[in-house]
């Protein structure tokens, strides 16, 4: 790879006694996996900057399937994440590392990811709004083409007070059944706009994104979610 590219570290794991294997989210190449040789050694100048939430400029190269990180320079300091916001950021990173295929460009999603991180870093309240907007955006970029504004059975516009039941790969169908797959027309309109004016709509958005993301995540639980439940929730009780 000639030239520099903006990127963030999504996931890091040891590769040998001195090296790291890293997943990056890059501006022009999407998610890429690179080997950082010697990055774990005490003398490495990469060790301090290869951290989540640090805006980077990176270069990489190599002829084989496994490319090698050549250089990495921080553009600025890492975004200040602590407490609940830290686990929210880790959740977003894990989500991207799990659902994005490698070497597919997601340029607009990269900037939406950056916006999400900036909102989380500056948030003095719940991060839920930023997370739900990003999840809905991610689903859209993955080719998730559900129509929130029309009943998939009749094609008619959704009505605020009516109930619509979600069916995978089909969309929302008007129904008298009310269960965890059911949403009101008002809620669906909010999802389409990615706006959540009240607590009930925000909870409904969380319920929907979990349903819609499940096929992409498979049966393996998200580690960031498990850590949040173990370390943060007990302190709030």
Structure tokens at 207: 């319920």
Tell me what the mean pLDDT of segment 69-93 comes to.
Answer: 89
pTM of the model: 0.89
Q: Are the C-beta atoms of residues 186 and 172 closer than 8 Å to each other?
A: no
Query: In the chain, count of helices (H) and strands (E)?
Result: 7, 8
CATH H-level superfamily of 83-232: Recombination protein O, C-terminal domain (1.20.1440.120)
CATH 2.40.50.140 domain position(s) in the chain: 5-74
- Which phi and psi (to 5°) does residue 214 adopt? -55, -45
Question: How far is 92 from 22, CA to CA, in rounded Å?
Answer: 16
Q: What is the pLDDT of residue 125?
A: 62
Question: How far is 145 from 213, CA to CA, in rounded Å?
Answer: 13
pLDDT in tens, 214-226: 998 887 778 777 6
Q: What is the pLDDT of residue 237?
A: 46
CATH 1.20.1440.120 domain position(s) in the chain: 83-232
pLDDT band of residue 131 (cuts 50, 70, 90) is: very high
Tell me what the mean pLDDT of segment 177-199 comes to.
Answer: 95
Structure tokens at 105: 């460009």
Specify the higher pLDDT residue, 94 or 145: 94
| Protein fold of 5-74 | OB fold (Dihydrolipoamide Acetyltransferase, E2P) (2.40.50)
Closest-CA residue to 96 (of 135, 146, 56, 49): 135
Find residue 183's DSSP bridge partners: 164
Tell me what the mean pLDDT of segment 162-168 comes to.
Answer: 94
């Amino acid at each position: 790879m000639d030239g520099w590219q903006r990127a963030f570290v999504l996931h890091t794991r040891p590769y040998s006694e001195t090296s790291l294997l890293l997943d990056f989210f890059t501006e022009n190449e999407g998610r890429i996996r690179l080997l950082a040789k010697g990055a774990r050694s005490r003398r490495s100048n990469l060790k301090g900057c290869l951290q989540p939430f640090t805006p980077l400029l990176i270069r990489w190269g190599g002829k084989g399937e496994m490319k090698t990180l050549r250089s990495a320079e921080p553009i600025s300091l890492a975004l200040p994440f602590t407490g609940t916001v830290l686990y929210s950021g880790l959740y977003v990173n894990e989500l991207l590392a799990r659902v994005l295929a490698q070497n597919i460009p997601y340029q607009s999603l990269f900037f939406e990811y950056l916006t999400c991180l900036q909102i989380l870093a500056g948030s003095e309240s719940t991060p839920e709004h930023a997370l739900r907007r990003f999840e809905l955006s991610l689903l859209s970029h993955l080719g998730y083409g559900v129509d929130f504004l029309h009943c998939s059975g009749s094609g008619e516009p959704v009505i605020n007070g009516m109930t619509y039941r979600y069916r995978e790969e089909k969309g929302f169908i008007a129904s008298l059944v009310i269960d965890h797959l059911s949403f009101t027309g008002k809620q669906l309109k909010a999802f389409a706009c990615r706006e959540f004016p009240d607590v009930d709509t925000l909870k409904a958005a969380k319920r929907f994104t979990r349903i819609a993301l499940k096929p992409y995540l498979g049966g393996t639980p998200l580690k960031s979610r498990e850590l949040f439940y173990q370390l943060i929730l007990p302190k709030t009780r």
